[in-house]
Chain A
Amino acid sequence: MRKLSICAALFSLALCGVLNAEEAMSMNAADKAMYAEMLENNPAAMDIAEGEELFNSLIGQEAYAKVLGVSVKDLPETIAGFPRMLMATPKYDFTFPKTMRKVVTLSQSLQMALADRDKKVLKLESKEMVKMTAYVKSLANDLKTNIDVKANKQMEEMVVLGKHIFEERRGGRGLSCNSCHSADIVGTRLRMQELPDLGAPATASASTWHAYRMTQSAMVSFDKRMQQCMKNALLAELPLGSKEMVALEVYVTNMGKGNTIQIPGLKR
């Protein structure tokens, strides 16, 4: 009896194999268009609206522009160039004996602005910070990512470190970011899903995060997404805000330099 059911199972497995081979592997152009249309009604729009309220009540454009050392008018263009080097005061980073140059992400620059205004510095992983950063990044919508990795010595160092981290194989499976996102395997599949070219305009990774992740039904930041990718690939997660994580963001943002900023994105 058991033998019979095993045979039946094997036969149905084989049958499935035949059927699957004839099926399309993933979404066709019309399917993709349907999902693209969903961008118009992105649930993350509600998070952005909340982020706007938070930003205006806690910081405001004028105070933020002051921290960045630019005029309010130049804010969008400046925001489009993050991560960038800023002057971090001991108020923001107590490990600093004096004001020092530091390459920071957009959320870290908001932390600096909060510290500057003697407000409670929100944690990078806090919901408030994620919403507020998404709103601020959306001020640069329709502009092109204009990160400048040659702007200064600090940025030059960070892009080198970022490349190293992107290519370093670690964790239980000895994988690196590059294992799945190198130019030569982009477009091949991982569990039905096409592996994306992080720098291509079609993916525009850095310029379309923060995004609403359908698998999580929530808006997720770019660095958090990279952490989730590390977790699934069995790599130790780099802490948000660490020099290594910022460097990785510098490197990946630079891969997609010139892509149009569209916040919030909508991802699988």
Chain B
Amino acid sequence: MERRSFLKGFGAVSACVALVPTIASAADDAKKVTGPNEMSVESALAAITGGKPVTPSSKVSLSAPEIAENGAVVPVKVTVESPMSANDYVKAIHVFGSKNNNSRCANVYLTPANGEASFATRIKLGATQDVLAVVEMSNGTFLSAKQNVKVTIGGCG
């Protein structure tokens, strides 16, 4: 009787131990799932800037929540200080989720007719990460702003 219960207990322990590698490999497999447009923020940035420097600037204001209770809908708003005149305007606003499988969210090409360089949308964030806005000015320089968004899972359903 005693031996039996001991064996049972041992069985349970070894089942747990055996489970460990299974979990680990499942996690590895999960990492392998990639989307059709997988691209890191570094590659995406290089494609846009052609290697030109990107300078963090207070002219670019990026608002996103510090904590998002739902990663599927994260509001993001970018505004850039600019006269938006024919020879001095914001050419483009690019928004990235730095750790998303495809880091690119939107590439927005503006014209002086916008009157104001602003763009707002809602993005999906797979995990806690930096949201990055990179702005291309009409003189060919690149400015940026970023904010960390913590994604939590809240509540009940």
Q: Please report A residues at the B interface, Cβ cutoff 8 Å.
A: 23-24, 26-28, 30-31, 34-35, 37-38, 180, 190-193, 214-215, 217, 228-229, 231-233, 268
Contact (Cβ within 8 A) B65 A268: no
Q: Which residue of A180, A193, A231 is within 8 Å of B154 (Cβ)? A: A193
Task: Please determine whether A180 and B156 come into contact, CB atoms closer than 8 angstroms.
Answer: yes
Return the 7 tightest CB-CB contacts between A and B, nearest first: A193-B155, A193-B154, A232-B157, A31-B65, A214-B73, A192-B154, A232-B156
Residues of A within 8 A of B141 (CB): none
Most chain A CB atoms below 10 A, which of B72, B122, B153, B155: B155
Contact B67 A26 (CB under 8 A): yes
A252 to chain B, nearest CB (A): 16
Q: In whole angstroms, what is the CA distance A24 to B77 when docked?
A: 22
Q: Which residue of B lies closest to A225 (CB)?
A: B157
Q: Given A23-B150, A191-B155, A232-B156, do A214 and B63 touch, yes or no (CB 8 Å)? A: no
The answer on a CB contact under 8 Å between A215 and B72 is yes
Residue in A27, A228, A229, A231 whose beta carbon sits within 8 Å of that of B69 in the complex = A27
A26-B67, A214-B70, A268-B69 given. 10 additional CB < 8 A pairs? Answer: A26-B152, A27-B65, A28-B66, A30-B66, A31-B67, A31-B68, A34-B77, A35-B75, A193-B155, A193-B156
- 6 inter-chain pairs at a CB distance below 8 angstroms, sorted by A residue, are A23-B150, A27-B66, A34-B65, A35-B65, A193-B154, A214-B70
A30 to B152: give the CA distance in the assembly, Å. Answer: 17
Residues of B within 8 A of A24 (CB): 66-67
Contact count A vs B, C-beta below 8 Å: 67
Shortest Cβ gap from A96 to chain B (Å): 35
Check A191–B122 contact: CB distance below 8 A.
no
Asked whether B157 lies within 8 Å of A228 as measured between CB atoms, the reply is yes
Contact A26 B69 (CB under 8 A): yes
Q: Give the docked Cα–Cα distance between A268 and B73 (Å).
A: 9
Contacts of A214 in B (CB 8 A): 70, 72-73
The B contact surface, by secondary structure, is loop
What CA separation (Å) do A31 and B70 show in the bound complex? 12
Q: Are A191 and B65 in contact, CB atoms less than 8 angstroms apart? A: no
User: CB-CB < 8 A to B72: which residues of A?
Assistant: 214-215, 217
**How far is it, in angstroms, between the C-alpha of A37 and the C-alpha of B64 when the chains are bound?**
12
Across-interface contacts of A27 in B (CB, < 8 A): 65-69
Complex contacts, A31 vs chain B, CB 8 Å: 65-68
Q: Tell me the bound Cα distance from A65 to B110 in angstroms.
A: 49
B contact residues around A23 at 8 Å (CB): 150
Given A24-B66, A31-B65: A229 touches B157 (CB 8 Å cut-off): yes
Cα A34 to Cα B76 with chains together (Å): 9
The answer to whether A26 and B154 touch across the interface, beta carbons within 8 angstroms, is yes
Assess whether B70 is in contact with A215, with CB atoms less than 8 Å apart.
yes
Q: Report B-chain residues with C-beta under 8 Å of the C-beta of A180.
A: 156
Tell me, in angstroms, the Cα distance from A191 to B101 when the chains sit together.
26
What is the minimal beta-carbon distance from A63 to any residue of chain B, in angstroms? Answer: 37
State which residues 64-115 of B face A: CB under 8 Å. 64-70, 72-73, 75, 77
